[in-house]
């Protein structure tokens, strides 16, 4: 397995391959608990260190299973999780989207399910269209220090530097 830096300036080293864990769970179409463990162990044995999950995958069960599998070795791995959607049955307007409220609530729930006090990358899987890219970016950096928006999106969200010698 080879490793590379996540993004241009994060310094976060990730494995060349990222294991998507959305099928970790006990639903009929999921890998099952034994299957999830076998997949996890094979990936780690091959040198994999990076896992991708979502707050709604398997109604949150994918994060719970991944948290169990990471266990005490959590610091040896990179965990990427996402927010924006909800698995709540009532789907109130404040429970979804990329708002600060939704982001914080989703992060707190993900941390509880993953049984950890941090995630390495926390990101929306897509822009919500309800909040500005600049605001989405500011909230991510404020809350988790690292965002994973596509570079083009980040460039459009960050104002250009003023020209040298200007009064701006």
Tokens of 90: 């009532």
Higher-confidence residue of 125 and 137: namely 125
**Section 101-109 average pLDDT:** 80
Residue % of the chain over a pLDDT of 70: 64
Higher-confidence residue of 115 and 60: namely 115
Sorted by sequence, the CB contacts under 8 Å of residue 121 that are 6+ apart come out as 6, 12, 78, 79, 80, 81, 144, 146, 147, 148
CA gap 58, 21 in Å, rounded: 10
What is the pTM (predicted TM-score) of this model?
A: 0.71
Higher-confidence residue of 164 and 61: namely 61
Q: Quick: pLDDT tens for 39-52.
A: 999 999 999 999 99
| Residue 161: pLDDT band with limits 50, 70, 90 | low
**Section 122-133 average pLDDT:** 61
Answer whether 58's CB lies under 8 Å from 21's CB: no
Answer whether 42's CB lies under 8 Å from 7's CB: no
| Protein fold of 3-155 | TIM Barrel (3.20.20)
Q: Where are the alpha helices (DSSP H) in the chain?
A: 32-45, 61-70, 100-114, 133-144, 151-157
């Amino acid at each position: 397995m080879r490793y590379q830096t996540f993004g241009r300036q994060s310094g976060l080293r990730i494995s060349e391959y990222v294991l998507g864990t959305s099928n970790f769970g006990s639903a009929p179409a999921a890998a099952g608990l034994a299957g999830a463990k076998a997949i996890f162990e094979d990936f780690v044995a091959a040198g994999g260190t990076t896992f991708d999950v979502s707050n709604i995958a398997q109604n949150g069960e994918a994060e719970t299973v991944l948290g169990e599998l990471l266990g005490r070795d959590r610091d040896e791995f990179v965990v990427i999780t996402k927010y924006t959607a909800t698995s709540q049955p009532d789907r109130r307007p404040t429970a979804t989207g990329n708002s600060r409220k939704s982001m914080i609530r989703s992060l707190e729930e993900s941390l509880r399910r993953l049984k950890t006090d941090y995630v390495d990358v926390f990101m929306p899987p897509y822009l919500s269209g309800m909040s500005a890219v600049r605001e989405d970016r500011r909230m991510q950096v404020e809350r988790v220090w690292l965002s994973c928006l596509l570079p083009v999106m980040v460039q459009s969200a960050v104002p250009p530097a003023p020209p040298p010698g200007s009064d701006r």
